[in-house]
Amino acid sequence: MTPTLEQLIAHRPPFRFVDRVDACGDDRGSFLLTLATDDPRLQDGVLPPLLVLEGLLQATAAYSGLQGARQPESGMVVQLDNVVLVAAAHAGDTVHLTVSRTHALGPLVRFHAAARVGDRLLVEGELSVARSPRAAQ
Amino acid sequence: MDELKERLKKVIIQELHLDGVAPESISDSAPLFGGGLSLDSLDALQLAVAVEEHFGVRVADESEGKAAFASVDALASYITARQKSAGKSP
């Protein structure tokens, strides 16, 4: 049975910045963050880039959890590289959060993550995660 | 091979942000990990990324990485062998 976002991400609303799973493949996952005009996560009508980055971190957690569904695992982000905070998201936007696994060495996995609204890049960067297996729940 | 080792040392210093370390201070045969460079597992992942970006060689898994990252000598041999098997030159 596919785990729910509540099972994959520890954060609860309004501190969760991933609303839906769009697609999940072997090396890439896509997630959606939809911002209604009255969304409590908005600050003066925008979601600042730093919170969009938080969305990417949560999307990475969700993707890792979905990939480890057969053998559940937890993980911790241990390094961010080449992060660029380009723009905020706005009320009415649907933000596409994409996570691609690029490298793995032992328990460490490197992801490229990007947040876009249409073709407009908001935030991009490389995330390194230290995985650790955990007991199935 | 010597040219590759010199290039490798420069890549290691640049990609692992070893500010103040001179290429000539890294011995060809000294351990890269658990030695004087104070590298950790995150550096190993970064080095795997760098080896692919700079030399087009992907480190397949942890056991291969452990052998390849034993020293500059080992890494140069690993890259050369992988490039030969893929039909590339360094």
Domain CATH code at residue A94: 3.10.129.10
Residue B37 has pLDDT above 60, yes or no: yes
CB B48 within 8 Å of CB A103: yes
The stretch A94-104 carries a mean pLDDT of 96
Q: Do B45 and A103 touch (CB under 8 A)?
A: yes
Could you tell me if residue B79 is inside a domain?
yes
Identify the burial level of A17 via C-beta atoms within 10 angstroms of its C-beta, where 0-12 means exposed, 13-18 middle and 19 or more buried: buried
Residue A135 has pLDDT above 50, yes or no: no
Could you tell me if residue B73 is inside a domain?
yes
Identify the burial level of B8 via C-beta atoms within 10 angstroms of its C-beta, where 0-12 means exposed, 13-18 middle and 19 or more buried: buried
The stretch B40-57 carries a mean pLDDT of 94
> What is the reported pLDDT for A10?
87
Q: What is the pLDDT of residues A8-48, one digit of tens each?
A: 888 999 999 999 999 999 889 999 999 999 999 999 999 99
How much is the mean pLDDT over chain B? Answer: 92
> What is the reported pLDDT for A137?
39
Give the domain CATH number at B43. Answer: 1.10.1200.10
> What is the reported pLDDT for A136?
38
Domain count, chain A: 1
Helix/strand/coil for A93:
coil
Residue A68's domain comprises 5-133
Residue B66's domain comprises 2-20+27-85
Residue B52 with chain A: CB contacts under 8 Å: 103
Would you put residue A80 in left (φ > 0), alpha (ψ -120 to 50) or beta?
Answer: beta
Residue with tokens 């890792």: A64
- Cα torsion angle, B16, B18, B19, B21, sign: negative
Query: Which chain A residue has its CA at the smallest distance from B58's CA?
Result: A103
Out of B49, B52, B62, name the one closest to residue A106 (CB): B62
> What is the reported pLDDT for B35?
79
Check: complex ipTM more than 0.95: no
Q: How confident is the model at residue B9 (pLDDT cuts 50, 70, 90)?
A: very high
> What is the reported pLDDT for B61?
87
Out of B42, B61, B65, name the one closest to residue A79 (CB): B42
Q: How far is B70 from chain A (nearest CA, A)?
A: 15
Residue B23 has pLDDT above 60, yes or no: yes
Could you tell me if residue B90 is inside a domain?
no
CA atoms within 13 A on the CB side of A109: 24
Q: What is the pLDDT of residues A56-87, one digit of tens each?
A: 999 999 998 888 655 556 788 999 999 999 99
> What is the reported pLDDT for A125?
98
Domain count, chain B: 1
